[in-house]
Structure 1
Amino acid sequence: MKKFIYSFLSLILAISTSTFAQKPQQDTTKRYIKTPTGFFMVLRQGDDVLAQLENFALKENIPSASYSGMGFVNAKFGFFNFKTKEYEPKEFERVELASMSGSVAWQNGKPSLHTHGTVTGKDFKAYGGHLLSATVGTGSVEITITVHQQKLERVKEEPLGANVLNLGN
Structure 2
Amino acid sequence: MKHLSTILFALFFTSAGFSAQEKERCRYTKTPTGYLMVLRQDDDVISQIELLARTEHIPSASFTGIGFAREVEFGFYDFKAKKFNPKTFRKVEMGSLTGSIAWNNQGPSIHIHGIATDDRFNAYGGHILSLHVGTGSMEIYVQVNDQKLERKIEQPLNANVLQLNCNP
TM-score by length of 2: 0.86
Partner of 2:65: 69
**Equivalent position to 1:147, from 139, 144, 147:** 144
Q: Distance in 1 between matches of 2:18 and 2:86?
A: 35
Q: Distance in 2 between matches of 1:62 and 1:36?
A: 14
What CA deviation, in whole Å up to 9, does each residue of 1:66-112 have, x standing for no partner? 00000000100000011111100000000000000000000004000
Q: Distance in 1 between matches of 2:55 and 2:43?
A: 17
Count matched residues. 151
**Equivalent position to 2:53, from 51, 57, 64:** 57
- Confirm or deny that 1:41 pairs with 2:68: no
The unaligned stretches of length 5 or more in structure 1 are 1-18
TM-score by length of 1: 0.86
Amino acid aligned to 1:51:
S
| Greater Rg over alpha carbons, structure | 1
**Where do 4+ consecutive residues of structure 1 move more than 3 Å?**
none
Q: Distance in 2 between matches of 1:165 and 1:151?
A: 11
Partner of 1:124: 121
Q: Distance in 1 between matches of 2:144 and 2:52?
A: 12
Partner of 1:6: none
**Equivalent position to 2:155, from 146, 149, 158:** 158
Amino acid aligned to 1:141:
M
Amino acid aligned to 2:87:
K
Partner of 1:114: 111
Partner of 1:78: 75
